[in-house]
Amino acid sequence: MGVGVWAWSEKDTLSNLSRLTKVALDPAFILVIVGTLTFVIGFTGCVGALRENTRLLALYAFFLATILLIEVGAAILG
C-alpha cells in the first residue's frame, strides 16, 4: 500500500485530482487496493488470534483459502 501511495505522489496524482478519471488502469491504484486488502486480511488474523475469536479466525481462513484458490486457478490458466 505504501508503494502505491508513493507512486501516486511521484506522479502528482494526489495534488491533481483531475487525473483520477482513468484510475482503474493505474498500476499504483492496483498496488494501493492490493495493499489495503492484505492489511485487512492480516489484521483480521491478528485480532482473531489475540482475542481468540473463532469467527474472525474462520474469516481469516476463508480469505486465505480464497486467495489460494485464485492463485491455483491463475497458475493453471497461465
pLDDT for res 20: 59
pLDDT for res 59: 94
DSSP readout, 2-54? HHHHHHHHHTTTTT-GGGGGGGGG-HHHHHHHHHHHHHHHHHHHHHHHHHT-H
Global model pTM greater than 0.95:
no
pLDDT tens track for 29-72 = 888 888 899 999 999 999 999 999 999 999 999 999 999 999 99
Q: What residue spans define the domains of the chain? A: 26-78
pLDDT at 26 over 80: no
Which of residues 1 and 75 earns the better pLDDT score? 75
